[in-house]
């Protein structure tokens, strides 16, 4: 992505990508994201790229990822990279 182009990312697309990186043992994390996704079925497309949807999703990630701001490797790093748009 160059500096002249801003890509709007749907929280649904990102959440679905993130779920694939979470180990199966983290059932509560996966369940919470799935519950969040089910609640978005009737949201307008413009809200799916807006903070209205992104802030609650960010809270879910912060709740389940250890040391959210200093993740360096493993599946949590993959999740954070997807969230930040680094992949």
Q: Which segment of 9-18, 20-29, 67-76 scores lowest on mean pLDDT?
A: 67-76
What local confidence, expressed as pLDDT, does residue 6 receive?
55
54: nearest Cα among 80, 81, 87, 15: 15
- Residue 64 CA to residue 41 CA, distance in Å, equals 23
Residue 34 located in a structural domain: yes
Using pLDDT thresholds of 50, 70 and 90, give the confidence band for residue 1.
Answer: very low
Residue 64 located in a structural domain: yes
Residue 58 located in a structural domain: yes
- Residue 38 CA to residue 41 CA, distance in Å, equals 6
Residue 6 located in a structural domain: no
Does residue 4 register a pLDDT over 80? no
Mean residue pLDDT across the chain: 90
CB 19 within 8 A of CB 34: yes
Does residue 51 register a pLDDT over 70? yes
Residue 1 located in a structural domain: no
Residue 3 located in a structural domain: no
Q: Which domain holds residue 59?
A: 11-84
Residue 5 located in a structural domain: no
Please give the biggest Cα pair distance in the chain: 41
Domain count, the chain: 1
Residue 4 located in a structural domain: no
């Amino acid at each position: 992505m160059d500096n002249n182009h801003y890509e709007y990312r749907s929280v649904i697309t990102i959440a679905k990508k993130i779920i694939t990186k979470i180990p199966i043992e983290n059932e509560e994390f996966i369940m919470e994201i799935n519950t969040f996704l089910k609640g978005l079925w009737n949201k307008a497309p413009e809200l799916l790229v807006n903070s209205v949807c992104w802030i609650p999703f960010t809270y879910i990630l912060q709740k389940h990822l250890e040391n959210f701001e200093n993740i360096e490797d493993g599946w949590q790093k993959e999740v954070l990279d997807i969230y930040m748009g680094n992949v």
